Structure 1
Amino acid sequence: MVTTDPQPDTVPAAVRALRRSGPPVRQAWAAYAISQAGSGIGAGALPLVAILLLDASDWQISLLAAVAGIAGAVAVVPLGPWVEFHRKRPIMIGVDLLRGVTLLSVPVAAWTGGLTFGQLCLVAAAQTVGTIVSSAASTAYLRSLVPGDQLVMVNSRWESTMWTASTLGPPAGGMLASWLGALAAVLIDAASFLLSAVTLGRVRHREPVPVPVIAGRGRHSMAEMTAGWRHIGVHPVLVRLFGHALIFGGCIVASTPLIAVLMLRDLGFSPAQYGLALGVPCAAGVLGSVLAPRIIRWAGLMPTLLAAGAARCLWMAVIPFAPGTTAGLVLIIAADTALLLCAGIFNPAFSTYRMRAVADGYLARVTAAWAVSSKVAQPIVIAAAGVVAAAVGARVALLGLAGVLLASMVVLPWRSWTTPDSAVSIGPVQTAGAQP
């Protein structure tokens, strides 16, 4: 008898994990893939609209990113407990609708002649709020959907989806903007969120009953709003991963404009060569996320997390020594490729560890606290690196960031890690049984 079903060894393990997990996981992944594709295409669309339609100045473009990021992150703090104590799928649908509708308001305002820079700032802040809240809710929701033994595989698929969208989306968005105008990418991004909301609405899965609020502690009390940070602080592994993540994320984000200055001004590379250096290494992130489940099966979850976490800190130190030649371009691409390969391996391992390590009733707030801290810390590191670059040049500033990254390897939990399932609680949490 001939069968048309692919044999197990011909199908990626992450795909098999999605199949075994059932329709709800596949539908949730489809919604995530749709929104990520739209976000990839819409990356940089709001600054482009500000430049082309509003003739915004350089400082306004910087203000758009900084104010929207910080304001959005601060607005999320009181929302953390609200997310934790409510069912997650309606929240995910709601923030998709929020992001879609606010983005859609931009072309509508532009076509009616009412678009302002203030509106763009509000829309960008809404995107930040939606991204952080969606991440917090979806992390907790995914843990309720996926059996524990399939978390690595499913996280790998989520990670490879993100890297694919990051690789292919921006060039597609740039071409759309060139052909159809600056608003085209915004429309695609808005449509992706609305379609994602519709897809999530079709998921048929009964969530566990949300953890109720502890008697005497309101959902918006300071104790509940800061519970995510306090939970991280008392966990011997998470607190070290948290500190390392803030340092790594800040250095990587701060290095982006400095690498642009180094390549385009100091080394004399063309914009096309700079674009090549940005785009090609992203494929390594996809490869790393695909390889992660096999490496974790072979080496173990925590050894993979530690090795990949340390390895991703090594490669920035190479970039400042690149000459302004073809060999220098190849060196920059190779260093960034190695960095993103290690990051692609690290991220699924980290996501899986955090899902297993955080106690019930805290995962959404821990995820939100992580994201809020990153959104606040990154502009600070960017500003500090900018001051150093203004004083001593981009090359020296990059060397400084590379040194900080190398030093951050010490922060990783080399000696404090325990069994991933050993969640630490910061206080009594009333839990309710999951509905069948």
Structure 2
Amino acid sequence: MFSAAPGRLIPSPYRSLFADRTFRRLMPVFALSDLGDGMTVVAVAWLAFTLGPDGGQGTLAGVAVAAYVLPGALGALILGRWMGRLPARRLLVTDSVLRAVLLGAVPLAHMAGLLTPAVYVGLLGASSLLHAWGKAGKHTLFAPLLPDDQRLAANSMLSTSLWSATIVGPALAGLFMEAVSPAWIIGLDAATFAVLALQTGRTALPQSSVPPATGGTRRGLIILRRQPELLGLLLVTWVFNLAFGPVKIALPLFVSDNLAAGTGLLGAYWAAFGIGAVIGALALGAAKRLPLWPAMLGIIAGHGIGMLPFTLTDTAFPSLIGFAFAGLVYGPYSALSFTLIQDRAPADSLTTVTAARSAVLLTASPLGAALGGFLLDRTNAPAVLVGCGALMLLTVPTSIAALKLYGNHRRRPQPPHLPTEQARHIA
């Protein structure tokens, strides 16, 4: 009786999901790796500050953070011919081994006195070269193993793990860096990737009946271009990420200049956003059926509304509540978009489509951050933050109009002179 009660508190989609042995074995190591990445977000920049020359610490920190992210887009584009042929598990293991080795070299080089800024940036950049493929393999791994009605719950768990890591990881990194160098935090992240590679490699997975298609990232981009729904999702998500990019630059200035507060309040903003995102992602996974496009556009609109209280600068409370609400509605977005891709993309091209999507999206947030810095020099932080929300709100009616136009095109009757098979294909 007592042991049965907690099970009733867990929504049935999650109960059936964790009944799958493969998911039970892999989800904990996914969460461990996410936690390691959450800690490394802080450690990468902090170690750069200690390595950079006087007056150049900020520049080195920016270069290091970019090196830890952007080469993944390059790897997705130039290595697609070879990586796209690998099954999802091998992609994930290959990326995890590469990151374990190269990130693990950071504390060793630091201990040996060989960690110069050039070596540091080189190790970070090389470690991220296959990461778009690794993420594609991670999100593709469960697609052929789980029933269609469990995909949304699985993607929600992956999103929840990422959002939880963004809350807990930086806090743990701050505690650890009181005792050890940030280089060892990066080494700890390397250890989590080693565990991920080992556990994924030794977990028995059913052989997929659909071999990976040839063509690499180029094929993925072609599929995205030829399928209006997937292309629309990519464009909407790119604009959404672009609109969120300036927030990372403008929010610290809003806290320091407009509210005359310190880093404690800035951390409270991001903690509120992250906690809201975790709750939102978990709540989504409990939903058995959900109209994907209306839900995603509703998320973008809700996020935009959550940014509007930044017009009020007399107190932090309205904008803090608004930012928490923005996180609450933003949390499910990744799970919904990946579920739509899994439903619409050809099974043999799922990894290449996901990798191509990651390569394109990796450009949005840095461009948005650069745009935010340009605007901050010409206006103020509240205007930039509210402008981000306004752009999100503007995205919604534009997307609805495009979807209606596409729907009307599909309902248009076929010309009678077309052969029957060709008419069916166009419809």
Give TM-score scaled by structure 1 length.
0.85
1:421: which partner in 2? none
User: Matched residue pairs, number?
Assistant: 403
Q: How many angstroms apart in 2 are the aligned matches of 1:294 and 1:68?
A: 34
Within-5 A mapping of 1:8-407? 8-20=7-19, 22-55=20-53, 56-208=56-208, 211=211, 219=215, 224-295=216-287, 297=289, 299-319=290-310, 321-324=311-314, 328-407=315-394
| CA offsets 1:230-255 (integer angstroms, 9 cap, x no match) | 21122222222211111111221221
Gap change, CA 1:212 and 1:242, over 3 Å in 2? closer
Contact 2:306 2:326 in 1 (8 A): yes
| CA offsets 1:274-315 (integer angstroms, 9 cap, x no match) | 111111221111111111134453x54443333223322322
Moved more, 127-136 or 143-152: 127-136
Contact 1:87 1:207 in 2 (8 A): no
Gap change, CA 1:19 and 1:225, over 3 Å in 2? closer
Gap change, CA 1:266 and 1:306, over 3 Å in 2? closer
| CA offsets 1:25-57 (integer angstroms, 9 cap, x no match) | 222212211111111122221111111244452
1:415: which partner in 2? 404
Q: How many angstroms apart in 1 are the aligned matches of 2:59 and 2:343?
A: 43
Gap change, CA 1:345 and 1:76, over 3 Å in 2? closer
Contact 1:251 1:405 in 2 (8 A): yes
Gap change, CA 1:127 and 1:209, over 3 Å in 2? farther
Q: How many angstroms apart in 1 are the aligned matches of 2:247 and 2:157?
A: 28
1:431: which partner in 2? none
Q: How many angstroms apart in 2 are the aligned matches of 1:6 and 1:66?
A: 48
Q: How many angstroms apart in 2 are the aligned matches of 1:47 and 1:370?
A: 26
2:423: which partner in 1? none
Q: How many angstroms apart in 2 are the aligned matches of 1:201 and 1:132?
A: 19
Deviation at 1:19, TM superposition (A): 2.7
Contact 1:264 1:270 in 2 (8 A): yes
2:417: which partner in 1? none
Gap change, CA 1:94 and 1:265, over 3 Å in 2? same
Q: How many angstroms apart in 2 are the aligned matches of 1:212 and 1:99?
A: 24
Gap change, CA 1:411 and 1:31, over 3 Å in 2? farther
Contact 1:85 1:210 in 2 (8 A): no
Q: How many angstroms apart in 2 are the aligned matches of 1:83 and 1:417?
A: 33
Amino acid at match of 2:118: G
Gap runs ≥5 in structure 2: 408-427
Gap change, CA 1:186 and 1:212, over 3 Å in 2? closer
Moved more, 376-385 or 172-181: 376-385
Q: How many angstroms apart in 2 are the aligned matches of 1:81 and 1:5?
A: 50
Amino acid at match of 1:195: V
Contact 1:228 1:369 in 2 (8 A): yes
Report the secondary structure of 2:211's partner residue: coil
Q: How many angstroms apart in 2 are the aligned matches of 1:239 and 1:384?
A: 24
Contact 2:220 2:355 in 1 (8 A): yes
Report the secondary structure of 1:146's partner residue: coil
Deviation at 1:115, TM superposition (A): 0.3
Amino acid at match of 1:412: S
1:432: which partner in 2? none
Deviation at 1:410, TM superposition (A): 2.8
Deviation at 1:8, TM superposition (A): 4.7
Gap change, CA 1:276 and 1:4, over 3 Å in 2? closer
Q: How many angstroms apart in 2 are the aligned matches of 1:252 and 1:127?
A: 26
Contact 1:296 1:349 in 2 (8 A): no
Contact 1:152 1:349 in 2 (8 A): yes
Gap change, CA 1:202 and 1:411, over 3 Å in 2? farther
Q: How many angstroms apart in 1 are the aligned matches of 2:129 and 2:320?
A: 33
Deviation at 1:265, TM superposition (A): 2.6
Give TM-score scaled by structure 2 length.
0.87
Contact 1:77 1:369 in 2 (8 A): yes
| CA offsets 1:80-115 (integer angstroms, 9 cap, x no match) | 343332222122112111111111111111110100
Contact 1:237 1:416 in 2 (8 A): no
Amino acid at match of 1:161: S
Q: Which runs of 4+ in 1 moved over 6 A?
A: none
Amino acid at match of 1:207: Q
Contact 1:228 1:366 in 2 (8 A): yes
Deviation at 1:417, TM superposition (A): 7.9
Gap change, CA 1:251 and 1:119, over 3 Å in 2? farther
Q: How many angstroms apart in 2 are the aligned matches of 1:93 and 1:225?
A: 19
Gap change, CA 1:262 and 1:213, over 3 Å in 2? closer
Deviation at 1:416, TM superposition (A): 6.5
Amino acid at match of 1:293: G
Deviation at 1:344, TM superposition (A): 1.5
1:430: which partner in 2? none
